[in-house]
Structure 1
């Protein structure tokens, strides 16, 4: 029988007696290894993520994260301008945990400042403070703490225990200085979370994290999957405009986000007894804006990513700072100034302020308008960027 055309006459591919190379070949291993490195360098986005992600984690955990915040903004209402009151105020300012940033003119102004989150602590020195200290007549000062985040105030509240013994050490002389009891008492009022229950802070914050994880990643993966499978070609052949495609693709996920919101809020109340103080108008608007912003970001990621792996990587590159710099896991005011500035750009930060402010403090649209405005700007900016990058043709 003649050999197949083009084949060598002495070739015997089916000869069972032919030797089989069952050993490892260093050359073949090196060839495959070289191919993988070349493929990795061609995928520049994946290569950049591999290098950048460890650096970002190192910087965040090494410099930005601080579980014992200092220099917490404090507002004071001083109704006694005597020497004892000035000494107590000076001792508080040099404590290291408190930074006096505002002097209120009335109790209403002080209450508004702590309710809106403008300050972490509010100190009130009553008008008869000096007289009561001199007479030994149960002098008191009031310290109100925004305890919605127990981790942010725990260290500062503990430091207040030494204030009565050290603040007036130079002012009390003679018999007044030899008294065994403290010259005054610090009355601490933990507002919004008097029992320092961590779940009251963490569970509402989970709403922002869950929506970010699901909506951003689901949208980016869903759109990128259509490009990989080629089904986007049919969509691009239609006369649909970019905004129409965007609305049609994202509308189902809006419903998913709303369902997740309702489920989390119900479970937060039933399982963890999270207080629902009110502020439903601000909460509803904040949820809608955050859902739209998250979906728009996922759509934008899908216009940049070339495959689903890149979409996942880019999603996590957004989600990681959102968890660490938003105040969800660590006190926001415990971070350095540069980290707080970076965290203020992240929409999750403002969404958490809306959720916690409405649920724990009962704040409404008037009180939370700055955070709501930041979410609205994020939605507009990301949606505009996503539509501008939407590809009308497959290049």
Structure 2
């Protein structure tokens, strides 16, 4: 056996570089994946969100009430997005998820402050994601001593000896701030994405590699028939996974299930079909199982990081939220959490269901357009 040769090493090295240049998808993934991770973790991830959308019900328009609103805004945690006219309208805003906080300033607020009766301001927080509201709720502790510091002057100066009012916080939908109530329902979307997209893309690509797809293409089967026939078994798999996850969530983690079954069922069906169609689309793009796996991961990683599963969605910058709104997992998580934790009905989650329906239509159309009846 001949000794070590740098010439042979160089030949193998050149061969590998040529092979890598031919597999452009793998090369692109190697370069894009670390860049994407760096950008997402560096810019998009924020565990202490600020400028959270807030609705306020001011039952008296006085200087003291306006000072409280200004102090909340200056804390940078609260961004006033709406002003309710009735308690029912305020309750509807937070139940639909339009706002993160709902603040009520009572009608006798100024009179009771002047009399030293220590009135109460009600702050209702959507605590389905405890990490999204923790910082803002903590900031409320300093509000009574700071909000009216300039207004309590002259004859009202003695009122500054103690807090002129009290802030009462109601953590709705998750009063004990149990993280599992947010994470476990969210796992349904992540698990379905990881299994269905990856399984479908690998299954179809495997047939192309083994040559069985060539036999299928020789038959008079239409593209939509191939897609339905190949995806139907995985629909059943997805439904079984959904049932198992929901049962475990209830029995082991005691996740509340307040209803909304019609919207949840429709959301699950749309998400399963859309995920399978996406896997089929990936299989039409990938030339090998390795490429199918890489493209699946390239979809799953942003789905985990930008959907609101691991980090508060409203804590991300605007551009990251815009990307997150395009990801179907984002809308599916809202459907699942809204149904289980809030008992939302079809009327409350129609926007998310429309987004999932659009995802199914677009991905299915692209998959059909990419499907080739003859092999290259």
How does the TM-score come out when normalised to structure 2? 0.99
Using the TM superposition, give the Cα deviation of residue 196 of structure 1 relative to its aligned residue in structure 2, in angstroms: 0.3
Structure with the larger helix share: 2
Residue 70 of structure 1 aligns with which residue? 50
CA root-mean-square deviation: 0.7
Residue 109 of structure 1 aligns with which residue? 89
1:279-290 alignment, distance < 5 Å: 279-290=260-271
1:1-395 alignment, distance < 5 Å: 20-21=1-2, 23-174=3-154, 176-179=156-159, 180-395=161-376
Using the TM superposition, give the Cα deviation of residue 83 of structure 1 relative to its aligned residue in structure 2, in angstroms: 1.4
CA distance in 2, matches of 1:101, 1:323: 27
CA distance in 1, matches of 2:282, 2:304: 19
CA distance in 1, matches of 2:256, 2:175: 12
Write out the 4+ residue segments of structure 1 that deviate beyond 6 Å after TM superposition: none
Aligned partner of residue 272 in structure 1, secondary structure:
coil
Which of these two proteins has the greater Rg computed from alpha carbons? Answer: 1
What runs of 5+ residues in structure 1 fail to find an aligned partner?
A: 1-19
Query: Any conservation in 2 of the 1:78–1:124 contact (CA below 8 Å)?
Result: yes
CA distance in 2, matches of 1:279, 1:88: 36
Using the TM superposition, give the Cα deviation of residue 59 of structure 1 relative to its aligned residue in structure 2, in angstroms: 0.7
Using the TM superposition, give the Cα deviation of residue 138 of structure 1 relative to its aligned residue in structure 2, in angstroms: 2.2
CA distance in 1, matches of 2:263, 2:63: 45
Using the TM superposition, give the Cα deviation of residue 98 of structure 1 relative to its aligned residue in structure 2, in angstroms: 0.2
Give a deviation string over 1:46-86, Cα, whole Å, max 9, x none: 11111111111111111111001000000000001121111
Query: Any conservation in 1 of the 2:123–2:170 contact (CA below 8 Å)?
Result: yes
Query: Any conservation in 1 of the 2:49–2:314 contact (CA below 8 Å)?
Result: yes
Query: Any conservation in 1 of the 2:57–2:83 contact (CA below 8 Å)?
Result: yes
How does the TM-score come out when normalised to structure 1? 0.94
Aligned partner of residue 124 in structure 1, secondary structure:
strand
CA distance in 1, matches of 2:279, 2:299: 10
CA distance in 2, matches of 1:64, 1:31: 43
Give a deviation string over 1:106-164, Cα, whole Å, max 9, x none: 00110000000000000000000000000011211000000000000000000000000
Aligned partner of residue 52 in structure 1, secondary structure:
helix
CA distance in 1, matches of 2:165, 2:192: 48
CA distance in 2, matches of 1:118, 1:128: 28
Using the TM superposition, give the Cα deviation of residue 95 of structure 1 relative to its aligned residue in structure 2, in angstroms: 1.1
CA distance in 1, matches of 2:9, 2:222: 50
Of 123-132 and 177-186, deviating more is: 177-186
CA distance in 2, matches of 1:83, 1:74: 20
Give a deviation string over 1:321-340, Cα, whole Å, max 9, x none: 00000000000000001100
What runs of 5+ residues in structure 2 fail to find an aligned partner?
A: none
Query: Any conservation in 2 of the 1:169–1:177 contact (CA below 8 Å)?
Result: no
How many residues are aligned here? 375
Using the TM superposition, give the Cα deviation of residue 175 of structure 1 relative to its aligned residue in structure 2, in angstroms: 5.4
Query: Any conservation in 1 of the 2:118–2:163 contact (CA below 8 Å)?
Result: no
CA distance in 2, matches of 1:94, 1:341: 26
Using the TM superposition, give the Cα deviation of residue 173 of structure 1 relative to its aligned residue in structure 2, in angstroms: 1.7
Using the TM superposition, give the Cα deviation of residue 176 of structure 1 relative to its aligned residue in structure 2, in angstroms: 3.3
